[in-house]
Amino acid sequence: MELRPYQREAVDAVYRHLRERNDNPCVVLPTAAGKTPCLATVCRDAVNLWNGRVVILAHVKELLEQALDKLRAIAPELPVGIYSASLKRRELNYAVTIGGIQSIYQKACDLGPVDLIIVDEAHLIAPDGEGMYRQFISEAKAVNPLVRVIGLTATPFRMKTGTICAPENILNHVCFEIGVRELIVQGYLCPLRTKAGIARADMSGLHVRAGEFVAGEVEDLMDTSDLVQAACAEIVEHTVDRRSVLIFSAGVRHGQHVVEVLRQRHGVECGWVDGQTPMRERDVILDRFKCGDLKYVANVNVLTTGFDAPSIDCVALLRPTMSPGLFIQMVGRGFRLHPDKTDCLVLDFGGNILRHGPVDDLRIKEPGKGDGEAPAKECPQCHAVVHAAYSNCPECGHEFPPPERSKHEAQATSEGILSDQVTQTAYDVTDVWYEVHHKRGDPDAPPTMRVYYECGIATTFSEWVCFEHTGYPRRKAEQWWVERSNEPIPATVEEAVDIARCGDLARTIAITVQRKHGSRYDEVVGHVLGPKAPRIDTDEGAAEYAATYSGIPEDEIPF
């Protein structure tokens, strides 16, 4: 099984982090981007190359099964054990142990020393206190103080405490991150279309507890006869040409009401799954759904993480949520590619897109800060939900009126006042990494060096440097190199990446990013650079190089 380019980059970033830092890394990949192949590759290398022992932790059996499947595909020779009550297996003495956290959290000492703990859906690690993940990791460290923890998640933040990575947390640094928009453009995720439901409840009276709407209040609000009937009618209307429709309800009573209305008023069979559905019945329903025998399935708090049905081409959100993580998980069920779909329609009856912004441009509110305004708006003509920057609806062409302000802003905006203007924003750079990039679908195109700039926990920009092109792209690449290095200009991209990864380019301190209205891409147009390193072939450069790189064996174990 060959990794996708960005998955290979993620794995390399983990190894780089483990070699260069003494803390614990986190990989951020969107839902459906394929965290499990990355996880399986790290396991294979840890065991086969470095004779290590690994534990994989997850909270649902679907994730445990996915990890096992990918390990079998990537490294069928690995000895793998499973410790999970839901899978009816209790196996500990293996090079790789896949554990359900609810079953294994008190068994760290029984495992003996392990070198790596890999946590899938790492945002579920409690920020403080005990918790099952924290107990397991603490006891594993008592057995082996040098054990390292690797986290994988699509949502590296929590509603109440903010980012999951901090010096005082179990996970300390995001070593790799790629966004939804970039993977859609590259063809690895399915594009989304969004529409707000016409039938909506007034949610202004809902109370918030522990960062989320009070569940009972939400269900009472959404589970009225008029709302359910109107929502079901819209769902049926918009999904005539859709293959697989996944519905998220506000509660068990509400979901069963939806199933009944779809059956009685529209002659539509809709499966139902909740936490109390017997496992065998649940498997039958979901198998029918995945193979196309059952078009509609409704659920409550079940089919968010670990559920893989690539054919889903419509997601209906019949519940509001204050959690951007839950919003991403629900919508992300439609991200997977399938030969029978060109996009996935998101029907939002809970105001979630307006609350959080488009899924590829979420506005994550910091704890203790005001609500602000989500970067999305609804077209009054066709009910498409689009980015707030649009002056005309891309679905129907409706012209949005200019925004009104009751008072002037506290700070001048950087956004252009007219649609043909561009905006430029400065970002501090926290990390830079370099990769060889090959153009998809065009094997004859020369490779380029792709430079990624990490500008905070959820913001990454990139640019392409074209050493193997001719004409203006090559001249631009030469200028880019001269500004950063005293070394000769490389002839190939691989040579440039090798030199860059050795740390021989000037550090990028900040970048300026230009955004043009209607453009699909942001462009890096300016850089603030640190001093260039001295040439390696000078006395000063040779001494610095030897001091930095001598004494590091090529087969160094990264944990």
* pLDDT digits 0-9 by tens, 494-544: 999 988 888 889 999 999 888 765 566 678 989 999 888 776 555 555 454
Residue 375 confidence class, pLDDT cut points 50, 70, 90: low
pLDDT for 4 beyond 50? yes
415 vs 425 pLDDT, higher one: 425
Q: Cα dihedral sign for 431, 433, 437, 440?
A: negative
pLDDT tens for 430-485 read: 888 888 888 777 778 899 999 988 886 556 788 999 999 988 889 999 999 999 99
Lowest mean pLDDT among 193-202, 255-264, 290-299, 388-397: 388-397
Order of strands across the sheet with 148-153? 89-90, 80-84, 96-100, 54-58, 116-120, 148-153, 25-28, 173-177
Rounded mean pLDDT of the chain?
84
70 vs 541 pLDDT, higher one: 70
Lowest mean pLDDT among 71-85, 260-274, 348-362: 348-362
Percent of the chain with pLDDT over 90: 52
CATH code of the domain occupying 190-365+374-387: 3.40.50.300
Give Cα separations from 271 to 164, 268, 274, 319, 366 (angstroms).
Answer: 35, 10, 10, 18, 38
Sorted by where each begins, the domain ranges of the chain are 5-179, 190-365+374-387, 424-549
The pLDDT of residue 411: 35
Residue 306: helix, strand or coil by DSSP?
coil
Topology agreement, domain 5-179 and domain 190-365+374-387: yes
Domain 5-179 is in which class?
Answer: alpha beta
The pLDDT of residue 163: 81
Residue 428 confidence class, pLDDT cut points 50, 70, 90: confident
Angle of helix 35-48 relative to helix 61-74, nearest 10 degrees, comes to: 50
Q: What is the mean pLDDT of residues 146-161?
A: 84
pLDDT for 368 beyond 60? no
Q: What is the mean pLDDT of residues 339-350?
A: 91
Predicted TM-score (pTM) of the model is 0.66
The pLDDT of residue 351: 87
Q: What is the mean pLDDT of residues 337-347?
A: 92
Name 253's Cβ contacts closer than 8 Å, sequence gap at least 6.
219, 223
The pLDDT of residue 413: 34
Q: Where are the beta strands (DSSP E) in 190-313?
A: 192-196, 208-209, 212-213, 245-248, 270-273, 296-299
Residue labelled with tokens 């924003």: 425
